[in-house]
Structure 1
Amino acid sequence: MRGSRLKGVPMVSNVIVGLGETGLSYARFLAARDEAFVVLDDAVRSDRLALLRAISPDATVGPIVGDVISVAKKIYVSPGVPLGLPVLADHTTHDRLFGDVQLFGQIVQAPFVAVTGTNGKSTVTQLFHDIAKKQTGRVALGGNFGTPCLDLLSSDVDLYVLEVSSYQLELANNLAADVAVLLNLSADHLDRYSSEQAYFKTKFAIYNNCRSAVVNRAISCSLDPSIRVVSIGMDEADGDDEFALLGDAITLSGEVLLKQDELKLSGRHNLLNIQAALAIGLLFDFDMSTMLEVVKDFSGLPHRSEFVAHIGGVRYVNDSKGTNPGAMIAAVSGEASERNVHLIAGGVSKSADFARLQDTIGRYIKRAYLIGDAAPLLYSALPEIDCAIYTGLPDALKDARNIADSGDVVLLSPGCASFDQFTDFAARGETFRQIVERFES
């Protein structure tokens, strides 16, 4: 083991499994309480080890081994570490395993919002954070997006806004959020979960013991009848506390609030995300007119249906964060105007099922430019579309530029993870942006 030698294994109280961003936040959390800990990780990056040494110079670091885990009193598991790992599997039903979000919920003193869903989480948390800053005191944003939640804890914060992933919910069965939000569900992370239903069940844990909820009417769920529920949807509805659509307008209880052409945010699918942010605000009794002004000025986040450029009548959109088929479907449907989308897709499939792509978005795709490990799978899933497989994003984007006509959209929405050709989705999106910017020069 690196660092100080592990002596007297039975004396180990705290073990951190995984030294990513969350693992480092566990280290800061424990060090602030003068509690010693051991860190286990099979592939420690040098930059993260340096950060750990700044927190605790003498912390022991070693590979993930069962003998250390078996004697630990508390095991702090990073979200990226599967609970099905053999050395952890025997402990998942015991109270020795801790996740950062559940730990946060047990400690936090101020109200907090917890947002999950297959897609759109970051957009909603950022938008509601911006809304809340106009109407309350100090607001802290983080979780799966941005700052790890344990690093946010402070007596100065009046309201916390958290994005929560399915991985985090695996150890957060009693989160008790003041407002819980499940935006949408589509199959994802099937390389980690045994089935689509297992993944969905994990997501539903967001509602456990919540004090109020935002519910998508397209998702069937059963909640405590004593809590207040506000619903959202892409359908028409005019009941009390129901956000809905009427044409291209967002409504509340049947009254029009704003129209899509008043927004800076791109894509029709984002109308649901806006509804969710407004619904959270409604549950906090925020002023609606002030919320709408923030919504109108919100242009979105990088790599999420992000407008990059308009060149020769062609619109270029970066949706590199679209790492599953559901996100791809939402982005294509949101950006399309009949059959005018040049879709760049592919990467690592994460065992995703692409079978419904032809039926759901085939009518919008003018041509598909496929890259990465999943390119052959996507090619097979789009039998009625003009498709070609490319060695990488630069070649695909160059061809898309040459083929696209005025009025078309060149959309990077991979429907896959990025780590076959890029370090992460942000690097993939930045590559797309840089190439498009060179087109302009």
Structure 2
Amino acid sequence: MKLVDLENKKVALWGFGMEGKASLAYLQKRLPDLSLTILCPQSEAGLSGVKFNHDEITADLLSRFDVVVKSPGISPYQDCVENSTAQFTSATALWFANERRATGAQIIAVTGTKGKSTTAAMLTHVLTGMGFNAVLAGNFGVPLLEQTTLCDYVVLETSSYQAYDGEITADVGLLLNLYSEHLDWHGSESQYHKDKCRVIASAQQVVLNAKDEKTLKSQIATHHNQVSYFASEQSFYVLNNSLMYQDKALFSLHAWSLKGRHNLLNAAAVCQVVSVLGLNIMACINHIKTFKSLPHRLQLVGLFNGVIAVNDSISSTPQSTMAALDTVKWDKTILLVGGFDRGLDWQCFVDFLVQQTESLKQVVCSGQNGEKIYKLVQQAIPQQQVALELSLDKAVEVACKRAEVGDTILLSPGAPSFDAFANYQQRGVQFEAWIKQYFMC
């Protein structure tokens, strides 16, 4: 939506988190006379001189406005949206309509159920190291509406929410993988996949995962003339814990600080994007090797009385927990799982445990979906040591008491944090505090 289309309109900002605040600042600067109202809970307010409305969101309330700029975390699949007469847009859509050309940037949209933050940050690190002015923005990095100056590349870390209503037109669209997530927002797995793929459908060039079953089933490649793949033996892929290009080994897991084969796969995706951009691959590899892991992603908390603690609080799907388990010794690992219940099926996680030749030292389940996970594991794998606690702090205490020299306590919840924490960052920080409190008291 062009800014000129907002003039003389009654406009509401629905949601007042980081993106909502960026939208307010942007609109106040560009359209200082615009009639603006912020729709949010009273707890999110705090600015003076701004009009707030804390009433319950209904179709009637939304219909009082001509245009509603909706924050990405708010689902459009609800009656108050569908029955409203307001026109809906988003901060991302405003940027693409009004700022993209002015920045002169090529847009690389990175999406996927897991790995998109690490991959987007790694790609930005590589491009910056190669001398380009590259900006990491979107769901991770700076809010997109804050990027209004000239740059070479915008690496857009794109959530399924932003893919739905962002009207994103990328020069390169990278889809890492498709699993089940955010079913409470999208309503179903098929709708989640459909919304996720919008950003790919509108991209000029597309990079896909050749080994991801649901990506291949989506047949997204049939709608494009310019498609390339990573995780293919004709391009960049992972073999025996090494990043490969065709028949040449580029580097192994031991050559950098990140853990897990999944991160090598993320590196393969970055290399494929760099190749599509026509840039130097060896320079790319050199900069990848210097990339450091992001916080709360298989982050080493420390060594406490011989016990290793690892914070993987970002983990919000069973698949991400399974990837984390690829980095540890099973018989020496106490796994903490569970959190906010988004309705995901944990049978794949249980099947994964069944297929292993050894058991984890212990699985400690907690949170809203903890009991569900506990029962599935207990019924399918009677020999697996598994415990159930109502809260994460109690789960951490159980893990600390059980841990011995040489063991690893791994927080990889496989679920969001919203049942008990504001976000995954708060959960990770609190986990680290509890670990240190237990071992240092």
User: TM-score higher than 0.5 here?
Assistant: yes
The equivalent residue for 2:3 is none
**1:276 correspondence with 2:269:** yes
Give 5+ residue unaligned stretches, structure 2: 1-7
Note the C-alpha offset of 1:158.
Answer: 2.0
* Equivalent residue, structure 2, for 1:80: 73
Q: Deviation at 1:337?
A: 3.4
1:202 aligns with 2:195: yes
User: Deviations 1:377-419 (Å, cap 9, x if unpaired)?
Assistant: 1101212121111243333223323323454432101112222
Q: Kindly provide the amino acid, as one letter, of the partner of residue 222 in structure 1.
A: I
The alpha carbon displacement at 1:13 in A equals 3.1
Change (3 A) 1:420 1:222: closer
Q: Give, as a single letter, the amino acid of the residue that structure 1 aligns with 2:324.
A: A
What's the counterpart of residue 144 of structure 2? 149
What does 1:276-355 correspond to in 2, within 5 Å? 276-332=269-325, 334-355=326-347
Deviation digits for residues 211-254 of structure 1 (CA, Å, limit 9, x no counterpart): 21220112213336765433122xxx432xx2112211111233
Residue of 14, 20, 24 corresponding to 2:21? 24
2:24 pairs with 1:38: no
1:195, 1:300 → 2: CA distance?
Answer: 32
Q: SS at 1:160's partner residue? A: strand
SS at match of 1:113: strand
1:356 and 2:348 matched: yes
2:419 paired with 1:420: yes
> After superposition, where does 1:20-419 map in structure 2 within 5 Å?
20-34=17-31, 35-46=33-44, 48-50=45-47, 53=48, 57-63=49-55, 64-90=57-83, 96-107=87-98, 108-109=100-101, 110-154=105-149, 156-172=150-166, 174-217=167-210, 218=212, 219-220=215-216, 221-223=219-221, 227-233=225-231, 237-239=232-234, 242-332=235-325, 334-362=326-354, 363=356, 365-383=360-378, 384=381, 385-419=384-418
Taking the aligned partners of 1:314 and 1:267, their CA distance within structure 2 comes to 20
**For residue 63 of structure 2, what is the amino acid of its counterpart?**
S
Q: Distance in 2 between matches of 1:348 and 1:256?
A: 41
Provide the secondary structure at the position in 2 that maps to 1:213: strand
Amino acid at match of 1:36: L
TM-score (norm 1): 0.87
Of 29-38 and 431-440, deviating more is: 431-440
Write the letter of the residue equivalent to 2:227: V
1:3 counterpart residue number: none
Structure 1 regions of 5+ residues with no counterpart? 1-10
| Structure 2: distance between partners of 1:388 and 1:30 | 51
- Decide whether the 8 Å contact of 2:67 with 2:88 is kept in 1: yes
- In 2: Cα distance, 1:29 partner to 1:224 partner: 38
Distance 1:202 1:392 in 2: 33
* Cα 1:227–1:343 shift into 2, 3 Å: same
SS at match of 2:140: coil
2:97 is aligned with what amino acid? Q
Report the counterpart of residue 4 of structure 1 in structure 2.
none
C-alpha distance in 2, partners of 1:420/1:132? 38
TM-score normalised according to structure 2 size: 0.87
- Cα separation, 1, equivalents of 2:421 and 2:172: 36
1:380 match: secondary structure: helix
Q: Judging changes above 3 Å, is the alpha-carbon distance between structure 1 residues 377 and 70 closer, same or farther for their aligned structure 2 residues? A: same
Give the Å deviation of 1:312.
Answer: 4.9
Distance 1:437 1:58 in 2: 42
Among the aligned pairs, what percent are the same residue? 27
More off after superposition, 407-416 vs 334-343: 334-343
Corresponding pairs, count: 416
CA distance in 1, matches of 2:35, 2:323: 43
The CA distance in 1 between the partners of 2:191 and 2:331, in whole Å, is 35
3-state SS of 2:321 partner: helix
Q: Is the 8 A contact 1:98 1:171 kept in 2?
A: yes
Inter-partner Cα distance in structure 2 for 1:387 and 1:294: 42
Greater helix content:
2
CA distance in 2, matches of 1:418, 1:271: 26
Q: CA RMSD in A?
A: 2.4
Are the aligned partners of 2:310 and 2:410 in contact in 1 as well (CA < 8 Å)? yes
SS at match of 1:368: strand
